[in-house]
Amino acid sequence: MRNFDYSKKWEKLLTPEIVALLTQIHEYKGEQSLFIEAKEDTLTQMVELAKIQSTEASNKIEGIYTSDARLKALVKDKTTPRTRNEREIAGYRDVLNTIHESHDYISIKPNMILQLHRDLYKFEGYDIGGKYKAADNIIEEEDEKGNKFVRFRPVPAWETPEAVENLCNEFEKALGTGKIDQLLLIPMFILDFLCIHPFNDGNGRMSRLLTLLMLYRAGYIVGKYISIEHLIEKTKASYYECLQESSLNWHEGENNYVPFVKYLLGVVVAAYRDFSDRVEILTTGGLSKPERVAKLIRSTYGEITKAQIMEKCPDISRITVERALAELLASDDIIKIGGGRYTKYEWNRDEK
C-alpha cells in the first residue's frame, strides 16, 4: 500500500520557482480579499461567467460537449438535460454550486468525496455515482497513429477504499501541524488522488472540483470569479505532461511532485492576475462602457478578440461591444486583423 505521509515530502518542493509562486499568490490574496468583501455585488457577473466557463472547460477536457446556448441554459438551470453529455454537465453544475455555497462545511473525507461523486452523476438513469471502482482501471494514451498504450496503472480496485481513507487522513494530519503551506499540500493531494483513480468514471472532473473545494477552504477563492478549470483546459497539454512527469515511480513512493505542484500554482497565479485585470476594468470610475472597451484594447499589448473583450467585461452586452468596435475602427483607433470568427483587434499605436 502506498504511503501518503506528507510530513517530509513537502520540504522537497521549496524550489526557488515554487517559493516565488507561493509569494505571488500570498500577495494577491492579501491585496484582493478586502476588495472582494467591499465589492461583492459588483462581482456577481464575474461569478456567473466563471460558473459557465468552469462547467464547460472541465467537461470539455473529458470530451463532454453541448452547444453554447444549451450550456448556458443548463448552468443557469433554465432547462432539463436531454442527452448523456448534458446530464453530466448538469451534474457538474450542481456539484460546483454546492462547493461555491457550502465549502466551509465540506470536509476532505472519503464519505464527502463519495457524496460529491454521487451528485456528479445524479441525472444518470443508472447507479454509477458515489461508488468506488468495482474493477481495476488503467490510464491509456494514444499516439499520433492511433495506437493506444498504458501510461499508468492506478491502485487496484480492492485497495481503493483504504487508499482514499489513508490519503484523506494524511492530508488532515499534515494540515493539523500548521507547518505546511496548504498551497503545497493541495496539489500533492490532487496528484495522489489522480494516481489512485478511485472511480470508474469522473476522476478528472472530481479532481478539479476537489481542487476548487480545497482552495476555497484554504481561503483562496479566486476560482469563484476566474475559472480555474478554464485555465487548465487552455493549457491542457502542459497539464498532462506535468501529471505524467509527477506520477513516474508513484507506486514506489519515489515520484517527484515538483512539476505538477509548479503547474497548478502557476494556474492559480494566472487566475489572480486575470482577476486583477478584470476588476480594474469593471471598476473604472467615470468611463462609459464603450470607453471601457477602448481602454481594454489600448492596455492590451498585442491582439484581442471580441470574445476576450466580452470575457473581461461580462457586464457589457455583445451589441455594445460590437458598436464600440465599429466606432473605434471608424476613428482609426484600432486595427482589424483577419475576418469572420478569427477576427482580432489591436490598438493603432502608430496613429495614437
Tell me which of 232, 253, 281 is where a domain ends: 281
In a domain, 3, yes or no: no
Going by C-alpha positions, the residue among 158, 160, 164 that lies closest to residue 111 is 164
Q: Which residue type, as a one-letter code, is found at position 275?
A: F
String of DSSP letters for 163-224: HHHHHHHHHHHHHHHS-S-HHHHHHHHHHHHHHH--SSS-HHHHHHHHHHHHHHHTT--GGG
Note down the domain range covering 308.
288-347
In a domain, 59, yes or no: yes
Q: Are residues 306 and 244 in the same domain?
A: no
Going by C-alpha positions, the residue among 143, 120, 142 that lies closest to residue 64 is 120
In a domain, 1, yes or no: no
Contact status, residue 138 vs residue 195, Cβ threshold 8 Å: no
How many domains is the chain partitioned into structurally? 2
String of DSSP letters for 263-303: HHHHHHHHHHHHHHHHHHHHT-TT--HHHHHHHHHHH-SS-
Contact status, residue 293 vs residue 325, Cβ threshold 8 Å: yes
Contact status, residue 95 vs residue 116, Cβ threshold 8 Å: yes
Cα–Cα distance, 335 to 337 (Å, whole number): 6
- CATH code for position 342: 1.10.10.10
Q: Are residues 52 and 176 in the same domain?
A: yes
Q: Are residues 139 and 181 in the same domain?
A: yes
Q: Are residues 66 and 127 in the same domain?
A: yes
Tell me which of 263, 281, 299 is where a domain ends: 281
pLDDT in tens, the chain (352 residues): 788 999 889 999 999 999 999 999 999 998 887 777 767 777 888 899 899 999 999 999 999 999 999 999 999 999 999 999 999 999 999 999 999 999 999 999 999 999 999 999 999 877 889 999 999 998 887 767 777 778 899 999 999 999 999 999 999 999 999 999 999 999 999 999 999 999 999 999 999 999 999 999 999 999 999 999 999 999 999 999 999 999 999 999 999 999 999 999 999 999 999 888 777 766 665 688 898 899 889 888 789 999 888 888 877 888 999 999 999 999 999 999 998 878 999 999 775 4
Contact status, residue 261 vs residue 187, Cβ threshold 8 Å: yes
Going by C-alpha positions, the residue among 202, 198, 205, 62 that lies closest to residue 136 is 198
Cα–Cα distance, 124 to 105 (Å, whole number): 26
